[in-house]
Chains A and B, each alone.
Chain A
């Protein structure tokens, strides 16, 4: 039986909607196969490339994936390590041996490394089925975050804020002179030299979050940034 596509490319689909019939089409991300039908599990834009279908979600929370770099907050400290919350229902465990190469004394005060309430950028190394997540601080760029503020955006919009090969984030950094770090979980650490720069960066990130589904995003954001920076410099 030949497959039949029930939707068009770039169409908005809702959870439970049938996208295709027959075995000719393959389910990609956020799509399940039930019998001969492909069904979306998320609200989003459907992407058809040859026989492969996938749904790019428009909204939704963060679900952790192995290898994601996320920004998290230390939520508790024990003798074995730390618990880190990164916007998911369950806290991740950060063990002392995943932080340092050197030997740590058994009764050492762990708060002098990461204290309660500190924000860290960290890497998800392992996810077990029973909601246990291991994270690690060993790797380039993984560290405790310095003075700065934390923004929270919808995790589904993170790829738009980063852009292709980091083009969007690079552009924001260039125009606003702010230091920015984006975690895959939608937490953004932001630190600027003065308040105007920071407020501009926040405004741009919110704009990206609001308008990410409209095409021509990069050009629009560039135009906006040029306009705003021009006003600031009196051009």
Chain B
């Protein structure tokens, strides 16, 4: 790690600013668009947080339910960190970071009860809808977690069921029926800690020397639905309290943006 840059950034953190001049608890500019790929996916969304860009596609399939949940459909989240999105990633099967990302998105959506899995059931025990959420980071300039979760939620909102004709899914022919989504949107905010500075939304340079991070999924009723800690440094109880408070505040702002 480049120590001179780290020292410089820590000096700036102690004055309350990111290296690009934002306050420590400010996001970069967030923009999104949905329905970017109506031809090949049932739902899609692109989210940009600063230079970070994530594209999510939703595909639907009919399959058999899991043996312990005969009346429920399924969600399968898949994330791929391709080398074109950052110099940090190599080609090949998904690594530990990609698995963490996909499981985190899965957890926020599943435990936040955003998708009503019972309504995805077509015929109990035999046929259910399985929703594939495919996450493709186009550019990783930091804070991939928040961007991916935002994009996944927006893509789910954009998705429509395809028509079924003679037991076959007509992917080119989408109905007007949206997925059975809850009105209450669960969201997540990743809070980073770096030598006593609590920050959010670091860029890729800052992310390299972060001590620890905590991704906090929060429902609209301010209930924590997912937690994921990363980084080697342990956290104290007070630090976690502060991080959760900040995440509660920021998820409210995010919710306003995607409303």
Question: A147 on the interface (CB 8 Å rule)?
Answer: yes
For B2, give its contact among A73, A191, A195, A199 (CB under 8 Å): A73
A83, chain B: closest CB distance, angstroms? 15
Looking at B11-19, B69-77, B137-145, the stretch in contact with chain A turns out to be B11-19
Given contacts A147-B11, A191-B8, contact A118 B21 (CB under 8 A): no
Residue A150 at the chain B interface, CB threshold 8 Å: yes
19 contacts between A and B (CB under 8 A): A73-B2, A115-B3, A117-B2, A118-B2, A118-B3, A118-B4, A119-B4, A145-B4, A146-B7, A147-B4, A147-B8, A147-B11, A148-B5, A149-B8, A195-B12, A195-B17, A195-B21, A196-B21, A199-B21
B residues sitting closer than 8 Å to A (CB atoms) are 1-5, 7-9, 11-12, 15, 17, 19-21
Encode A104-126 as 1/0 by CB contact (under 8 A) with B: 00000000000101110000000
Chain A residues in 8 Å Cβ range of B21:
195-196, 199
Q: Within 8 Å CB of A115, what residues of B?
A: 3
A194 contacts the other chain (CB 8 A): yes
- Contacting residue for B19 out of A117, A144, A149, A196, CB 8 A: A149
Cβ-defined contact, B17 with A148, below 8 A = no
A150–B205 Cα distance when bound, in Å, is: 11
CA A145 – CA B3 in complex, angstroms? 10
Complex Cα spacing A144 to B17, Å: 26
Partner of A117, one of B3, B9, B20: B3
Query: Would you list which residues of chain A between 128 and 181 have a CB under 8 Å from chain B?
Result: 144-150
| Residues of B close to A73: CB separation below 8 A | 2
Q: Are B17 and A117 in contact (CB under 8 A)?
A: no
| Complex CA–CA separation, A132 to B157 (angstroms) | 56
Query: What residue of chain A has the Cβ atom nearest to residue B8's Cβ?
Result: A147
Find chain A residues with CB under 8 A from B1 CB.
117
Q: B5 to chain A: which residues have CB within 8 Å? A: 119, 147-150
Across the interface, which residues of A come within 8 angstroms of B3, CB to CB? 115, 117-118
Shortest distance between the CB of B218 and any CB in chain A (Å): 30
Closest 6 CB pairs of A and B: A147-B7, A117-B2, A147-B8, A195-B17, A199-B21, A147-B4
From A117, A118, A146, A195, residue with most partner B Cβ within 10 Å = A195
In the complex, the answer to whether A119 meets B17 with C-beta atoms within 8 Å is no
Which residues on A sit within 8 Å (CB–CB) of B17?
195
Interface centre among B8, B11, B21 (most CB of A within 10 A): B8
Closest partner residue, chain A, to B20 (CB atom): A199
Q: How far is the CA of A25 from the CA of B1 in the complex (A)?
A: 52
> Do B8 and A195 touch (CB < 8 A)?
no
Query: 16 extra interchain contacts, Cβ-Cβ under 8 A, other than A147-B4, A149-B9?
Result: A117-B2, A118-B4, A119-B2, A145-B4, A147-B5, A147-B8, A147-B11, A148-B4, A148-B8, A149-B8, A149-B19, A194-B15, A195-B15, A195-B17, A196-B21, A199-B20
Which residues of chain A come closer than 8 Å to B9, judged between CB atoms?
149
Shortest CB-to-CB span from A228 to chain B, Å, is: 14
Q: What is the CA–CA distance of A148 and B20 in the complex, to the nearest angstrom?
A: 13
